[in-house]
Amino acid sequence: MDYRKFGETYYVRLDRGDEIVSCIFDVCRKEHIESCVFNGIGGCSSAEVQTYDPEKNEFNTRTIEGMLELITLMGNVISDDDGELYHHTHATFSMEEEGQHLMAAGHLKSSVVLYTAEIELRPVIGGAIKRKADPETGTGFWDLSK
């Protein structure tokens, strides 16, 4: 991974074997970023994509592998009052299976880069978005009251 800041925006290049979410967290920790939004594109070798099932109160996870084009990556990072980072990331991948062009999309749990990924990361300026725990789902949401 390598990154550089231009103005208030960080441009992050991920390399073969890098895991996307952990690299985004690494940049946030190194640069003391409490909350940000990001987007990106690239190529991956594997991904865990999730869909939330509100009736069962659980995430259904699908693992995909192979040559995965990362068509869209978008998400945010927020922190709790103790400084722990959390992400909410969605991704769309295209792939070829048995001669058919397919897509998979949803909440991104993790993804490993095959050859490169390019991410634009924009910190929240003038404050920080904190996390509000949601006991019903076991997840958290933006707390804009602080």
- For position 112, what pLDDT does the model report? 98
- For position 58, what pLDDT does the model report? 85
d(CA 40, CA 12) in angstroms, rounded, equals 9
Instruction: Yes or no: say if 13 and 19 are a contact pair by the CB < 8 Å rule.
Output: no
Tell me the pTM. 0.93
Q: Where are the domains of the chain?
A: 2-143
* DSSP per residue, 78-138: EE-TT--EEEEEEEEEEEEETTEEEEEEEEEEEEEEEEEEEEEEEEPSSS-PEEEEETTTT
Q: Provide CATH code, domain 2-143.
A: 3.30.1330.80
- For position 57, what pLDDT does the model report? 83
pLDDT tens column, 95-105: 998 899 999 99
d(CA 61, CA 140) in angstroms, rounded, equals 19
As given in the structure block, the two tokens for residue 12 are 């992050």
- What does the radius of gyration of the chain's CA atoms come to, in whole angstroms? 16
